[in-house]
Amino acid sequence: LRSVELKAVSLQSTVTELRGDLQARRSDAIALSAEVAAWLSTWQQDIPLQLLEPFQKQRQAKTAVGKSISELRAKLSQEREERRQESLLSGRKYEELQTDKEDLQARIVRESSQLESRLQALEKRQLEERQSWVEERMRMEQLCGEQLQQLELCQGNLTKTERDLAIAETAVSSKMSEVSSLEKVVAELQRQF
């Protein structure tokens, strides 16, 4: 029975270490999620809604990863308590507990590896999308600059056109005065003849 208790303590220590490792990974995921959320909050007022959509999807994916880690942690805690109770009740279940422990460790390693792969993929996609956003912003800034230059050119042309129109109106007014004078002269000549 003493040997079983020692094995149970060893199993509990191993599970505690695994739990600590999962907590550390969860903290990393939460920290990364917080960093992304802070970065999005900074730029959210300056970029169009269509550029925010990929980041919102990524935030949802990170939230799902965090939820999966929380569920795994709760499940691990529950299974650890069940194994401890079984160890105290009977030494006959030692082999079964040993097998369960190995299966649990293998599953934790496998699921941790999967979660880490997903996290790395999310980080890579975040980097690519951030680079894409920077390029898109530069393109939009260049387009805005070109449109501003076109606007300034149009304003210059409008000013010149208004100036030419004023000159033309002045010339037309002068010609109309001359025509009016000539009409008076013609009328006077007609009266004389």
CA 169 from centroid of its chain's CA atoms: 58
Quick check: 4 and 91 in contact, CB under 8 A? yes
pLDDT of residue 92: 66
Closest CA to 126 of 40, 8, 13: 40
pLDDT of residue 167: 85
Kindly provide the residue ranges of all beta strands, DSSP E only, lying in the chain, ordered along the sequence.
Answer: none
pLDDT of residue 49: 58
pLDDT of residue 87: 67
pLDDT of residue 52: 59
**For the chain, what is the largest distance between any 2 Cα atoms, rounded to a whole number of angstroms?**
149
pLDDT of residue 110: 87
In sequence order, what DSSP letters do the residues of 47-59 get, joined into one string?
S-HHHHHHHHHHH
pLDDT of residue 46: 57
Quick check: 75 and 111 in contact, CB under 8 A? no
The list of the chain residues with pLDDT below 70 reads 1-2, 4-5, 40, 42-55, 87-88, 91-93, 193
pLDDT of residue 45: 56
pLDDT of residue 50: 57
Helices (H) and strands (E) in the chain, counts: 3, 0
pTM given for the model? 0.31
